[in-house]
A and B are shown apart, each in its own frame.
Chain A
Amino acid sequence: DQQVKQNSPSLSVQEGRISILNCDYTNSMFDYFLWYKKYPAEGPTFLISISSIKDKNEDGRFTVFLNKSAKHLSLHIVPSQPGDSAVYFCAARQTGANSKLTFGKGITLSVRP
């Protein structure tokens, strides 16, 4: 049973436009959510996170939105740049559960010049 779902395997956007990456979760005990970016043959790089007490967190071009009632979060990248092309993983954790992260399957973002 997959507790963190990234239902779209890929997304292609034009440079300069907004990229919206979606993530759904089923475990209502999750209270901290993270987005990681990964290039091939490298480890994931932390991008941005959000606690369940917030509904929005912004860092430069990256904004994460959390809708707890819908168990849904999204990552907005604006403006998108070719260097943003990578695999993006959504992850969630539950406080007290030894800080284990549960990852989605990832979404491949391609930003066209």
Chain B
Amino acid sequence: GAVVSQHPSRVICKSGTSVKIECRSLDFQATTMFWYRQFPKQSLMLMATSNEGSKATYEQGVEKDKFLINHASLTLSTLTVTSAHPEDSSFYICSAMDRLADQPQHFGDGTRLSIL
């Protein structure tokens, strides 16, 4: 089945550091990728929709200057958390959708980000 690879799986870093998370679709082309954030015992909250070759669409309340998204190719999207602070600590998950219609989103394994 479709595989989405997310890297790194875990990051621990100091406050003020910028952190880049990669999301790759390994066996299909993804014109659209999504970035989610999950708080403990909560649902997945969509942060932004990333379209290949264009600017990302951010959900209300998500700071686009804080969470930079780049979708430079049909198989790679990156999320950069800039100048991370402890409140940015969370579980970040990406998903990708095959460019074919009516296909489900496939998710990466997530990145646990801990800001000290």
Give how many B residues have a beta carbon under 8 Å from the other chain's beta carbons.
25
Contacting A at CB under 8 A, from B7-51, are 32, 34, 42-44, 46, 49
Residues from chain B with a CB closer than 8 A to the CB of A44 are 44, 93, 107
Verify A46–B105 contact, CB threshold 8 A: yes
Verify B43–A43 contact, CB threshold 8 A: no
Verify A32–B102 contact, CB threshold 8 A: yes
Min C-beta distance of A33 to chain B, whole Å: 10
Question: Is A59 at the interface (CB under 8 A from chain B)?
Answer: no
Give how many A residues have a beta carbon under 8 Å from the other chain's beta carbons.
21
- Chain B interfacial positions (CB closer than 8 Å to A): 1, 4, 6, 32, 34, 42-44, 46, 49, 57, 91, 93-95, 97, 102, 104-110, 112
Verify A43–B105 contact, CB threshold 8 A: no
Min C-beta distance of A14 to chain B, whole Å: 25
When chains A and B are docked, how far (Å) is the Cα of A43 from the Cα of B91? 10
Residue of B34, B57, B104, B109 with most chain A CB atoms under a 10 A cut-off: B104
Verify A42–B110 contact, CB threshold 8 A: yes
Residues from chain A with a CB closer than 8 A to the CB of B6 are 43
Question: Is A51 at the interface (CB under 8 A from chain B)?
Answer: yes
